[in-house]
Amino acid sequence: MIQVKMMICKDENYRIVGYKISGHAGFAAKGQDIVCAAVSSLAIAITNELTVSVVSDNNDNSIVVRHISALPQNTVLTKALLHGLQDIADQYPDRVAISRIDAG
């Protein structure tokens, strides 16, 4: 299962300040898994456009993004990421799980 952890700052906008995406959907064989492809494509495209302090691609095939600045374009991008991932999770609830973590 793909695990998505969104770190939310409980300011007036409930801004996303970081996220971790890890795991494998197990929908199909590696290289043919449409769920993994969808999540990966969305995550990589959004992450590449963010203004962030820390992005790491771990050896375990996870992506970790921290310290997303409060720029308006980052807010739009992270909300688009969350909404896109939620759409995928709604279609494949046994393959993608999203949790929200209070970041302060």
Could you tell me the residue ranges of all domains in the chain?
Answer: 2-102
Contacts of 77 (CB under 8 A, 6+ apart): 46, 49, 50
- Mean residue pLDDT of the chain comes to 90
φ, ψ for residue 28, nearest 5 deg: -155, 180
Sign, CA dihedral 95-97-98-102, equals negative
Q: Specify the fold of 2-102.
A: Alpha-Beta Plaits (3.30.70)
Whole-angstrom Cα distance, residue 9 to residue 102?
6
User: CA 60, 28, 18, 102: dihedral to nearest 10 degrees?
Assistant: -110
Residue 19 has pLDDT above 90, yes or no: yes
Whole-angstrom Cα distance, residue 70 to residue 33?
34
More confident residue, 64 or 87: 87
Contacts of 53 (CB under 8 A, 6+ apart): 66, 67, 68, 69
What is the percent of the chain with per-residue pLDDT over 70, rounded to a whole number? 92
Whether the model pTM is above 0.85: yes
- Residue 104: which pLDDT band, with cuts at 50, 70 and 90? low
Residue 60 has pLDDT above 80, yes or no: no
Residue 53 has pLDDT above 70, yes or no: no
Residue 37 has pLDDT above 70, yes or no: yes
Residue 80 has pLDDT above 90, yes or no: yes
φ, ψ for residue 96, nearest 5 deg: -135, 130
- Residue 103: which pLDDT band, with cuts at 50, 70 and 90? confident
Whole-angstrom Cα distance, residue 10 to residue 96?
24
